[in-house]
Amino acid sequence: ILTIVIFDVPERERAKRDWLRYELIMMGFEKLQNSVWAGKYVLPTEFISDLEIYNILPFVHIFSVSRTGTITTV
């Protein structure tokens, strides 16, 4: 499973955005772009709870990809 985290935390919440990036690095995620991260990990429920506590969950989108590769015409 590949997990993709995309976020757009406002500039006024810079410290929270920096915290989010730090946490993703600590969980082994890799940066694809500044606000797009990917990892082969399931995010812990505590992390989701922290997003809610910091009031930034509305700015974060999390995707789980079960199949990867290039799309081909069938």
The pLDDT of residue 24 = 97
DSSP string, the chain: -EEEEEE---GGGHHHHHHHHHHHHHTT-EEEETTEEEESSPPPHHHHHHHHHTT-GGGEEEEEES--S-----
Q: Does residue 69 register a pLDDT over 80? A: no
What is the rounded CA–CA span in Å between residue 45 and residue 70? 31
pTM of the model: 0.86
Residue with structure tokens 């976020």? 7
Q: In what order do the strands lie in the sheet with 36-39?
A: 30-33, 36-39, 2-7, 60-65
- 10-51 pLDDT, tens digit per residue, is 999 999 999 999 999 999 999 999 999 999 988 999 999 999
Read off the amino acid at residue 22: Y
